[in-house]
């Protein structure tokens, strides 16, 4: 019987920030990279990616868990909650209780489950303010994983992801370098041989306070303010987006470099 990989979540799993017009929704991402490497060992691998950008935890659980279970996966990756942590208020304990109930539904199928911690935003003056929330979220994930035998991709411990050069200009999403690092981390944790190579970056160039202020102002205008406007209007970046790979198919369904 062929392996069936099903990935659930938000923009992180959809692959936003890793633009590539050859792939569904115009993005590639770490999950597609993982599927590509798995398919190199098992050409009969079937892969579905139900993730949609902008989704909150409750939306991921309500809209993706049922369809994912119907696909009878043998390997599940799931990450949700990052968008909730960015909201003005969030009940992390209640959110994670719902998350754990969803995980339990997958465990009854015998599937191998992969979960993720949040990234440490200490290097960014804006996202540094979320460290406390992310740390609480991460502790819930780690405790749940230890109890239930889940595989944890510890993004918080991946110090290379503190480097802004691993991120897209919006500072919210990983760029191709960052997505590649996550794919490598997951494959290594599953002890799966692969051909992906880590990126070694030179020390970042020094910036003057004036240059940093100018960059932050540009980011605010181009990314932060539009995000705030969508929140005010009650809109989401995923309102008109459909899951990038809603059904199980062999991979690669598109060419990859």
The model's pLDDT over 159-194, given as tens digits with 9 standing for 90+, comes to 999 999 999 988 789 999 999 999 999 999 999 999
pLDDT at 165: 93
Give the angle 165-171-174 at the CA atoms, nearest 5°.
60
170 touches 17 (CB < 8 A): yes
- Domains (range + CATH), the chain: 4-198+243-250 (3.40.50.1110)
CA distance 81 to 87: 10
For residue range 208-251, what is the model confidence (pLDDT) as tens digits?
887 667 676 775 676 565 666 666 666 666 567 999 999 999 98
pLDDT at 82 over 80: yes
What sign does the dihedral 18-21-27-33 (CA atoms) show? Answer: negative
Higher pLDDT, 257 or 90: 90
Higher pLDDT, 171 or 146: 146
Higher pLDDT, 125 or 10: 10
Within 10 Å of residue 196's Cβ, how many Cβ atoms? 15
Indicate whether this model's pTM tops 0.85: yes
Of all residues in the chain, the percent with pLDDT exceeding 90 is 74
For residue range 83-128, what is the model confidence (pLDDT) as tens digits?
999 888 999 999 999 999 999 999 999 999 999 999 998 888 778 8
pLDDT at 232: 64
């Amino acid at each position: 019987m062929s392996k069936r990989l099903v990935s659930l979540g938000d923009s992180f799993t959809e692959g936003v920030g890793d633009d590539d017009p050859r792939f569904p929704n115009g993005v590639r991402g770490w999950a597609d990279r993982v599927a590509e490497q798995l398919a190199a060992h098992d050409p009969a691998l079937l892969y579905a990616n139900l993730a949609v950008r902008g989704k909150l935890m409750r939306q991921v659980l309500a809209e993706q868990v049922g369809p994912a279970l119907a696909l009878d996966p043998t390997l599940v990756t799931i990450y949700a909650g990052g968008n909730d942590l960015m909201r003005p208020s969030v009940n992390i304990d209640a959110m994670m209780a719902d998350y754990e109930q969803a995980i339990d539904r997958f465990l009854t199928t015998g599937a191998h489950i992969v979960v993720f911690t949040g990234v440490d935003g200490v290097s960014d003056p804006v996202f540094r303010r979320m460290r406390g929330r992310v740390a609480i979220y991460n502790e819930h994930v780690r405790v749940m994983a230890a109890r239930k035998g889940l595989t944890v991709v510890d993004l918080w411990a991946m110090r290379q992801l503190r480097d802004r050069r691993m991120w897209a200009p919006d500072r919210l999403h990983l760029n191709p370098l960052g997505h590649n690092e996550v794919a490598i981390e997951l494959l290594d944790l599953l002890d799966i041989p692969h051909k992906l190579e880590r990126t070694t970056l030179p020390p970042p160039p020094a910036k003057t306070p004036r240059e940093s202020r100018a960059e932050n102002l540009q980011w605010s205008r181009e990314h932060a303010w539009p995000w705030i406007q969508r929140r005010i209007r009650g809109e989401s970046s995923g309102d008109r987006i459909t899951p990038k790979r809603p059904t199980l198919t062999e991979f690669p369904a598109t060419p990859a470099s």
